[in-house]
């Protein structure tokens, strides 16, 4: 049992004992006597812009990655910040590529049910509130349009199906991505689809001053709260915002007009 699981179990047990105490079935909440469970936060690691360019161009030059759709898949992950399961659930009816502002509707995700089968859950991982319509960048529209025009399809057909035309297993897609990145020599960085989501979150959180005050933009794109986005999807840059003008109130009168003298001892 890992620490996060242990912490969750402790929370559940504490709730049970609190309820038991309330109805007189227990003299108190013994769970509160246990030592705290410390869960170490792992640092968020996103792809740099240089790595993004290398990955995209490398996958485009890899015939297998193009043939099995991994190249297109990574492009859409980077164009939306969606989870791999959400992307696997995309049907052509969710894409509106022809208007002036092309979009994709995120309203489901692929999940595995008991017994080993897969279905499209009728809402994203975060629940019904995670449904969102995202604007697509021009380069992604070009990729999706080319994919749409490549083979005949119906609105209910999957954008990224398996070779048999069925739901594609996200686990297989992860393995295919890792093998593709190995083939093009991209190693030493996270090789999973979730790294693309963290890359989008990190990039969108950056403001014009090089800080990360645009966390709300990243959260809206990813379909998370700002707290979750900041904790799990934004790589810290350790650079503060450009707030120099706000320090003007601290200046002495002679410092405000530029006549301050330099004192030496």
Q: Is residue 95 part of a domain?
A: yes
SS3 string of 153-199? CCCCCECCCCCCCCCCCHHHHHHHHHHHHHHCCCCCCCCCCHHHHHH
The domain containing residue 131 runs over which residues?
56-189
Q: 109 has which bridge partners? A: 121
Q: Is residue 258 part of a domain?
A: no
Q: Are 47 and 235 in contact (CB under 8 A)?
A: no
- Same domain? For 22 and 63 the reply is no
Domain end point (choices 123, 158, 189):
189
- Same domain? For 13 and 87 the reply is no
Number of structural domains in the chain: 2
The tens-digit pLDDT sequence of the chain (265 residues) is: 566 677 677 778 778 878 777 777 777 777 777 777 766 678 899 999 999 999 999 999 999 999 999 999 999 999 999 999 999 999 999 999 988 999 999 999 999 988 879 999 999 988 888 899 999 999 999 999 999 998 878 999 999 999 899 999 999 999 999 999 999 999 999 999 999 999 999 999 988 777 788 899 999 999 999 999 998 999 987 777 777 888 888 888 888 776 555 554 4
Q: Is residue 215 part of a domain?
A: no
Domain end point (choices 161, 189, 217):
189
Strand 118-121 and strand 132-135: pairing? unpaired
What whole-number distance in Å separates Cα of residue 224 and Cα of residue 218?
9
- Same domain? For 27 and 149 the reply is no
pTM: 0.79
């Amino acid at each position: 049992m890992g620490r996060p699981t242990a912490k969750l179990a402790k929370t559940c047990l504490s709730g049970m004992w609190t309820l038991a105490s309330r109805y007189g079935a227990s003299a108190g909440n013994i769970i509160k006597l246990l030592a705290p469970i410390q869960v170490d936060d792992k640092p968020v690691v996103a792809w740099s812009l240089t790595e993004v360019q290398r990955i995209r161009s490398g996958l485009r030059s890899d015939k297998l990655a193009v043939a099995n759709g991994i190249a297109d898949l990574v492009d859409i992950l980077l164009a939306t910040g969606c989870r791999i399961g959400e992307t696997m659930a995309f049907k052509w009816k969710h894409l509106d590529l022809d208007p002036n502002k092309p979009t994709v509707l995120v309203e489901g995700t692929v999940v595995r049910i008991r017994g080993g089968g897969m279905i499209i859950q009728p809402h994203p991982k975060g629940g019904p509130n995670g449904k969102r319509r995202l604007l697509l960048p021009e380069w992604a529209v070009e990729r999706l349009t080319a994919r749409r025009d490549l083979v005949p399809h119906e609105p209910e057909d999957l954008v990224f199906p398996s070779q048999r035309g069925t739901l594609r297993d996200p686990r297989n897609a992860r393995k295919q991505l890792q093998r593709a990145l190995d083939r093009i020599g991209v190693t030493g960085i996270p090789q999973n689809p979730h790294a693309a989501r963290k890359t989008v979150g990190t990039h969108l959180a950056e403001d014009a001053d090089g800080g990360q005050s645009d966390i709300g933009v990243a959260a809206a794109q990813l379909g998370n709260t700002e707290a979750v986005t900041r904790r799990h999807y934004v790589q810290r840059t350790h650079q503060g915002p450009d707030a120099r003008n706000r320090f003007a109130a601290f200046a002495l009168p002679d410092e405000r007009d530029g006549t301050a003298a330099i004192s030496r001892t």
